[in-house]
Structure 1
């Protein structure tokens, strides 16, 4: 049986939506398995930030801030509609476990929740935050 060893969120600069006043990034969450496979869990996430002044005159955003935001956007979401944070988290981890199950990996939701979660920033994104 394949086991999941960690989670990785890859954050990439959306160059088509980025200019001197607006930065947009995409985030893709993957599960890394003991057999070296990486399975996509979420690939529809991202966020942006903007400024009324050109980015090169603004305080620099740090890699740590982007990593924190990346972990936030891949879930669990904030409670809505009267649900508790615990209910939202349970739904999130159950959803991810179901995504893995459809890809042939059976994993307990509690196992997923306890995995280490790395964030990898693309080189174009790293270059952008270094340059600003």
Structure 2
């Protein structure tokens, strides 16, 4: 039986504005399966950051660790809204991802999915921009 071994979020420079004052990136969450396949779970996430001040280079204040932390946040459960708790939002998020995998023939419990290792991979283009 195919199982999910880990989650991977791929982060790349967005086609939008990115320069020394602004960073714009996209994030794609995938599930890595024991048979080597990858299933895209989310491909509509991303964020932008802007440096404030004259002559400020955002790269001086942006680390790989910052990007990894933010990537995990933007593909993770959304903030609670309309009276829902963090626990309810998390349960709905992980349940939806488990359901998506189920439709692909991969049965996984939402709680197991939430506890999997979650790697973040920065594209070469993003790494070069940061350097």
TM norm structure 1: 0.91
Give 2:57's aligned residue.
56
Q: 8 Å contact 1:60–1:129 — kept in the other structure? A: no
Give 2:120's aligned residue.
119
Q: 8 Å contact 2:8–2:118 — kept in the other structure? A: yes
Gaps of 5+ in 1: none
Moved more, 101-110 or 38-47: 101-110
Distance in 1 (alpha carbons) for counterparts of 2:44 and 2:55: 28
Give 1:10's aligned residue.
10
TM norm structure 2: 0.92
RMSD of equivalent CA atoms: 1.5
Q: Moved runs in structure 1, 4+ residues, more than 4 A? A: none
Distance in 2 (alpha carbons) for counterparts of 1:57 and 1:66: 12
